Structure 1
Amino acid sequence: MVIGASDGRLVVPLAAAGYRVIAIEHDPLALHGGEVQLPGDRTGHAMGMIERLKQEGLHDRVQVVEDDFLASDPVTAPCDAVWTSCSWHYSANHHRPLGEFVDRMQRLVRPGGLLGAEFMMPLTQRHHVLEHYTSPEKLRRYFIGDWDVLLTLRTNEFTEHAHVGQLQDHNHRMGLLLAARASTPS
């Protein structure tokens, strides 16, 4: 399962590798594509995940769920792996505590399964007051009991060039956490 599946940048490779994927995304532009503002006062067409899956012949391997992961229970069956990439820091998700987001993800992982998260770490003063910009150390408090943190990584600060949604060059620092749920409850 990919939560915050966006335009399918993680979903497409998983489906192409033969996995069945549940892709949860709430943003209509990410799902269906449309006109976007580009750097340099230009506009262009962004392909949505659904169109991309059809183009790649993978739509039959992916269950697309157009829903807000935090506002409902779009999927209840446990999955082998649950992943999110950079969805925690979006302002649309700040109305709920980060711990609730993590807990909802954990409940979807079957015993013996994996939870992975790529996330933004704080850089600016504004980031430091928002719990959704976090660190591997702070995330560990959510992985107790049946959970074992297998891997945490962090990048140095780096500059990303302007892109859709961020029309100026900007800096990031990223983190990654991979955790396993015990096969049998402790």
Structure 2
Amino acid sequence: MRTQSLWEHTLTFFPQFLAALKEHATPDATVAVIGASDGKFVLPLAAAGHRVIAVERDPLALHGGEVSLPGDEHAHAKGLIERLELEGLRNRVRIVEEDFLRIEPSEMPCDAVWTSCSWHYSANHRHPLATFVDRMQRLVKQGGLFGAEFMMPVNQRHHPVEHYTSPERLGRHFIGDWDVLLTLRTNEFNERAHIGRLEDHTHRMGLLLAARASAAHSYEKKET
């Protein structure tokens, strides 16, 4: 991509999601990105031929504006809309400027859903983690794919907060018609300062990919 996301260099398990998407979905599948930000994941999905639903409520992420960068610097950042237009991808992306938990899942059914480190923000702690997971699951059609990378606890203040979860704890939400395909975790690692965290810091991250059973598979389960 010629237009670079502000989050371009932060660690991600997104390549694993793309590999699973290639296996479980058609090239023109509809993929919802929850917490789309300025398009780190939206643009490559659209460029690959997918129809993308980008859910983001932050006006700065969508429309651009001045941001603070490491080193006490300031810059004008391009928002998601401008970046899509520059790449000629605007017609492949439906932007939903709304709080994700206010959206009725039946209004945006999709073949796959992806989120990256969205639910650990303190503004989201007023809602149980199960609420986020359930709402994301309900977006996914039968035979579809669920992908989430998330922050794991690093220091003591994180441990009482369920939103800093683990692959094992998150996996408990995937029973019945769901099959967990892959879980991964990192050890603690140092990440360079970036927008939103203007000093070097330590993270742990996890990944969970799950597939929702097709209608035929669900029927077979009931029969057995």
Report the TM-score when normalising by structure 1: 0.97
Distance in 2, matches of 1:66 and 1:77, equals 13
2:168 is matched with 137
Shift of residue 129 of structure 1?
Answer: 1.0
Shift of residue 76 of structure 1?
Answer: 2.2
Write the mapping of 1:1-186 to structure 2, written as runs, cut at 5 A. 1-73=32-104, 76-184=107-215, 185=218, 186=221
Distance in 1, matches of 2:85 and 2:158, equals 38
CA contact (8 A) 2:35 2:118 kept: yes
Name the SS for the 2:183 alignment partner. strand
Letter in 2 for 1:35: E
User: Which of the pair is proportionally richer in strand?
Assistant: 1
Letter in 2 for 1:11: V
Unmatched runs of 5 consecutive residues or more in structure 1:
none
CA contact (8 A) 1:32 1:51 kept: yes
Shift of residue 68 of structure 1?
Answer: 0.3
Distance in 2, matches of 1:22 and 1:102, equals 17
Letter in 2 for 1:36: V
CA contact (8 A) 1:121 1:172 kept: yes
CA contact (8 A) 1:67 1:74 kept: no
Letter in 2 for 1:5: A
Unmatched runs of 5 consecutive residues or more in structure 2:
1-31
Runs of 4 or more above 6 Å deviation: none
Distance in 2, matches of 1:77 and 1:164, equals 30
Distance in 2, matches of 1:3 and 1:131, equals 19
Distance in 1, matches of 2:103 and 2:186, equals 33
Distance in 1, matches of 2:150 and 2:79, equals 22
Percentage identity across aligned positions?
74
Shift of residue 40 of structure 1?
Answer: 1.6
Shift of residue 90 of structure 1?
Answer: 1.1
Letter in 1 for 2:199: Q
Letter in 2 for 1:21: V
Distance in 1, matches of 2:142 and 2:169, equals 24
